[in-house]
Amino acid sequence: MENSSPMKGKSGAMQILAKETAIYGLSSIIGKFLNWLLVPLYTYVLAQQADYGIVTNLYAWTALLLVILTYGMETGFFRFANDAETNPTTVYRTAMASVGTTSLLFALLCWIFRGTIAALLGYADHQEFVGLLAIVVAMDAFACIPFSFLRYQKKAIRFAVLKLLFVILNIALNIFFLVLCPRWQGSVLIDSWYDPGYGVGYVFVANILATGIQTLCLLPEVLAGGRTEHNFSWDLLKRMLRYSLPLLVLGVCGIMNQTLDRILFPFLYPGDDAQAQLGIYGACFKVAMVMMMFTQAFRYAYEPFVFAKQKEKDALGAYADAMKYYVYFSYLIMLGMVVYLDLLKYLIAPSYWDGLRVVPVVLWTYIFQGIYFNLSFWYKLTDKTQWGAWFSFLGMLITLGLQVVLVPKYGYMASAASSLVCYFVIMILSYVVGRRYLAIPYDMKRIAAATAVCLLVLAVYYALGGMNTWLRMAAGTGLIMVYTGAVWMMNRSVISSRGR
């Protein structure tokens, strides 16, 4: 009985993680999928590819700014909320006050200097784009703390509902501004305010309206615990900042590894069609978002799970299992995306199809990124977050260097390849260094075997390139079944022992 109890505990932990991943995953997948449907809307409705290039470029900037404005306080919140020496409500109120203050200052400064900022970014004729997105980023940064509080309280359903509310509102407003209003022109109600020439600007108008409504819906969480003795603490804030600020460096470098390609592309690509090329790259990049949906859903559930689990005896085994199953499922998703890409390409307009060759590269990048996220907990659990900053900084240098050298010659393929190389290198380094500080018993034999099978399946599928499209997809489906069967066989003994 004593020998079986750790196995049962680990199995139970995996079931809890799977349940929460399913809830977060359902909302994330549905939300991302619905948001994904904006890609065909934009590619088919916006006047030109350069318009989608503007969307791609500015949203890359907002992703970077969001990381800066939260400065690691999400992870800091989980770290100190699970500390027996601190009150969770005090941690929450302190984090929210800090992030709320800095977000408000950011929004005010960007609004005052929006003309100068817009000129520097190449959008001097549309400085309102900068003003609108600055307010959106500020609200999103502030909302990160209440959303973290919901995760901490295990209120996954409310978290999911509020996330989906934003997505539904954003989609509805985009359809209203970009599809319905042009058709309803001639109506006094529409013509009195609608400008058909504003085009892509309505994408940002829809965003600020949807974000504002979502923020209002978070008021119950914002006010939670406000009338207790457990409020803001300067001493706690100092401790949280000491822990979180290294994560800011990590986060900034990390998000730059993800977005630097779309931020720098207009400045590096020599052609006059830089924005159009960026639009093609951005649209095809979105096709690969299924992998990002899975990684994000896993992250939402896994981060609080790790910190809550760290004091239990079977924690390291649970972390190892989580890594293994993440790898298995990410490979399965990647194979499905590659095999059915001939169907998925219809999500975007045919004028964008030339960029589909980046999809497999982006998928592998997302896989390496997810594995790196799993590995990153060794330095978060041991409070050695400076290592994460060093890894991310190195990755940023790799990304930046490769893009500066290769993008002028090879265009967006170099942008995709630079991110792939970056995450592969820091993934390997994190694993090697992490073994010295926290020896998590990763099942490298099974992970390596699954990787070999996945690569073999891909090689066979690409060898069928000259085959009829439908026959090739049918053969690809069979190959996916081969991979699934091989993984099941590898783990049959483990599954059987747990069943007993």
CB 371 within 8 A of CB 383: no
Res. 350: pLDDT tops 60: yes
Res. 2: pLDDT tops 70: no
What DSSP designation does 467 have? Answer: S
d(CA 287, CA 295): 15
Res. 8: pLDDT tops 60: no
| DSSP states of 95-112 | HHHHHHHHHHHHHHHHHH
Per-residue pLDDT tens over the stretch 108-154: 999 999 999 998 888 888 888 999 999 999 999 999 999 988 888 87
Lowest mean pLDDT segment, chosen from 82-86, 337-341, 430-434, 470-474: 82-86
What DSSP designation does 345 have? Answer: G
3-state SS assignment for residue 193: coil
Per-residue pLDDT tens over the stretch 186-196: 888 888 888 88
CA-closest candidate to residue 175, choices 37, 282, 280: 37
Could you tell me how many helices (H) and strands (E) the chain has, helices first?
Answer: 24, 0
Report the mean per-residue pLDDT for the chain.
84
The number of angstroms, rounded, from the C-alpha of 421 to the middle of its chain's C-alpha atoms is 18
Res. 286: pLDDT tops 80: yes
pLDDT band of residue 416 (cuts 50, 70, 90) is very high
d(CA 324, CA 328): 6
CB 470 within 8 A of CB 495: no
What pLDDT, on the 0 to 100 scale, is given for residue 437? 84
Per-residue pLDDT tens over the stretch 62-75: 999 999 999 888 88
**Torsion sign, CA atoms 229, 231, 233, 238:** positive
CB 230 within 8 A of CB 89: yes
> Greater confidence, 313 or 177?
177
The most distant pair of C-alpha atoms in the chain lies apart, rounded to whole Å, by: 77
- Reading the block at residue 431, the tokens are 């694993």
CA-closest candidate to residue 173, choices 143, 203, 213: 203
d(CA 408, CA 415): 10
> Greater confidence, 389 or 447?
447
d(CA 393, CA 405): 18
Residue 343, judged by CB atoms within 10 A of its CB (0-12, 13-18, 19+), counts as exposed
> Could you tell me the pTM of the whole model?
0.76
